[in-house]
Amino acid sequence: MALKRNALGRGLDSLISMGDIRTDGSSAISEIEISRIVPNPDQPRRTFDEDTLEELASSIRELGVVQPLTLRLGEDGDYQIIAGERRWRAARKAGLFTVPAYVRTVSDTEMTEMALIENIQREDLNSIEVALGFKKLIDTYHLTQERLSERLGKKRATIANHLRLLRLPAEIQLGLRDRKLDMGHARAILAIDDPKLQLKIYQRILKEGLSVRAVEELGRKLSGEQGDSNVRQNKEKSSEIAALEKDFTDLFTMPVTVKRTSNGKGSVTLKFESEEQFRKLVETFRRLQS
């Protein structure tokens, strides 16, 4: 099933102005030797379908490269691809020696942004590649989601939704990468906290071709069954938990709540209501450490 995406609100053209293009002679487009062009190591797109590359190569043999690449001149004299790696790969297959290109002077940040925008606009990226592109920009250049939203002209909620995909189990992320399910299915799966349940639903999607609505209903059903199981187990352990809460409350002289789930996870919450209680809590911890 194909992944549907909206184009970025801010176009690639808004980041690439003709006034910034470095040209040879009077033309705005230069012919660059293919042997001097290298891929962008931060290219967000990771997979290139060989069949479609061969189709594009056949077209290039007949018509040439219709849309110029966008390149950056590196310090070693080679050109790094900002946009157009697929065209470059196909041109090599077609046996071309040169390709038409714009040559730009851009920073590393701008280069990464342009590569991401160009691919999303052309709908060449799957949702995981988009998410990894967003994450790389955030991590490398210390951006907030809000700032990234401003830079790319994309809604903050869209960026957040893509980043959440990276919390899914690796098997489901691979399914998204290979377009075995779409963003709607992934968001429905993310509503479930248990990774085992997430994988169980993912397998059902592959086997039964479930719709997004069916996945949402299945998630509620399975979560409800798990919740009932947790309730039964909690009842069995309620006396033990209550005893622990009382012991902790007596020790710290403040209300303590203990929560535990069926998979062994949980939390211990200490509630203090004044600065004095907080200081006493700190003193108790230090006393226990000594």
Give the C-alpha separation, 38 to 41, whole Å: 9
Around Cβ 32, how many Cβ atoms within 10 Å? Answer: 21
Task: Say if residues 74 and 41 touch (Cβ distance below 8 Å).
Answer: no
Give the C-alpha separation, 4 to 1, whole Å: 9
Structure-block tokens of residue 216: 């949402």
Question: Quick one: pLDDT at residue 16?
Answer: 36
Distance separating the N- and C-terminal Cα atoms of the chain:
60
**Tens digit of each residue's pLDDT, the chain (290 residues):** 444 434 344 443 433 333 333 333 324 688 999 999 998 877 666 677 788 889 999 999 988 998 899 898 888 889 998 888 889 999 999 999 999 999 988 887 788 777 777 666 665 678 998 898 888 888 877 888 888 888 777 888 999 999 999 999 999 999 998 889 999 999 999 988 889 899 999 999 999 999 999 999 988 888 776 555 555 555 555 677 777 877 787 777 778 888 877 667 788 888 877 777 788 888 888 877 76
Give the C-alpha separation, 280 to 251, whole Å: 11
Give the C-alpha separation, 252 to 284, whole Å: 7
Angle in degrees, CA 174, 175, 178, rounded to 5: 85
Task: Say if residues 99 and 37 touch (Cβ distance below 8 Å).
Answer: yes
Give the C-alpha separation, 28 to 149, whole Å: 31
Q: Nearest CA to 179 among 133, 136, 124?
A: 124
Question: Catalytic residue at 85?
Answer: yes
Question: Quick one: pLDDT at residue 2?
Answer: 42
Question: Quick one: pLDDT at residue 234?
Answer: 52
Give the C-alpha separation, 161 to 166, whole Å: 10
How far is it between the farthest Cα atoms of the chain? 85
Question: Quick one: pLDDT at residue 15?
Answer: 39
Out of 55, 75, 85, 245, pick the active-site residue. 85
Give the C-alpha separation, 67 to 278, whole Å: 65
Residue 197, SS3?
helix
Question: Quick one: pLDDT at residue 245?
Answer: 79
User: Which neighbouring-strand residues pair with 70?
Assistant: 83, 102
* Contact residues for 98 (Cβ-Cβ < 8 A; gap 6+): 31, 32, 33, 34
Residue 202, SS3?
helix
Give the C-alpha separation, 80 to 73, whole Å: 6
